[in-house]
Amino acid sequence: MKRLPTNVDGLDEVLGGGVPEGNIVLVSGAPGTMKTSLTYHVLHARALEGVRGLYVSLEQNRASLLDHTEGLGYRLDDTGGKLSILDLGTLRKKLRGSAEQPWMDLFKLYTQGIRKSFDYRVLVLDSLDALEILAKFREPRREMFSLIRWIRDLGCTTFLLGELPADRIIGADPRRAAYAKHKEDYLVDGIVHLRLVRQGEFGMQRQLRVVKMRGTRHDTGYHALVFDNGFRVTRGFA
């Protein structure tokens, strides 16, 4: 099976070689767990290797996102045009008549339309929660099922970002733990959970767990997620 390397030191080892190509992966976690930064890192790293990627942002405008990611060392200009950012909110405001168009239709129109001229192989949607609110889901489970089925038809490796309150998992029975709001954790091929765990009296540590990943044998434990001029995942806790 072909795999998509993440280029995160230690993570590809945890994944058994990388994310199987074509998988839809839910990246869930509380605010501050670096979901945006981690998935942008994957896009940027693959773009440097010539693999086209699309980042669809609903929560941050393009300028804010670039200010954040370039501050971490991920320069868009270094990718040679292989990484594209779709700021759907700003685009909707600028285009005549699009303000009345349903958000879900707009998302599908541009995400699919871009592929005609920019055949991206990796997609990040930031975030499922924002899309649910903006599109005003009336039947969230049914509409989430339809969305994921539509994304699957794109045939690219996809990362879906989802907010998850810290108390949703901590202390939960792993057999009953939920990593998403509307059972989308059962629909996707992979789940990567990020969390913040207290260390000592004042410290906090980011941790990562690959909960599931179809098509590969992977480590299911929590590992420290460290950012220091790049991401790395350490076995055990640093």
Higher pLDDT, 199 or 192: 192
CA distances from 211 to 42, 54, 77 (A): 18, 25, 34
pLDDT at 170 over 50: no
What pLDDT does residue 144 have?
Answer: 94
C-beta pairs of 12-15 under 8 Å, 24+ apart in sequence: 13/219, 14/210, 14/218, 14/219, 14/223, 14/233, 15/210, 15/213, 15/216, 15/218
Contact between 224 and 237 (Cβ < 8 Å): yes
d(CA 123, CA 158): 5
Chain mean pLDDT for the chain: 90
Three-state SS letters, 44-74 = HHHHHCCCCEEEEECCCCHHHHHHHHHHCCC
d(CA 194, CA 106): 29
Average pLDDT, stretch 79-86?
Answer: 97
Average pLDDT, stretch 216-235?
Answer: 93
What pLDDT does residue 93 have?
Answer: 79
d(CA 49, CA 82): 9
- Cis before 64? omega within 30: no
Number of domains in the chain: 1
Contact between 213 and 19 (Cβ < 8 Å): yes
Beta strands in the chain (DSSP E): 3-4, 19-20, 24-29, 53-57, 83-87, 122-126, 157-163, 190-199, 203-213, 222-227, 231-234
pLDDT at 167 over 90: no
Q: What is the largest CA-CA distance in the chain?
A: 54
pLDDT at 177 over 70: no
Claim: this prediction has a pTM higher than 0.75: yes
Q: Please provide residue 133's backbone torsions phi and psi, each rounded to the nearest 5 degrees.
A: -70, -50
In percent, how much of the chain has pLDDT > 70?
Answer: 91
Structural domain that includes position 192: 3-234
Average pLDDT, stretch 33-60?
Answer: 97
d(CA 212, CA 41): 21
CATH number at residue 93: 3.40.50.300
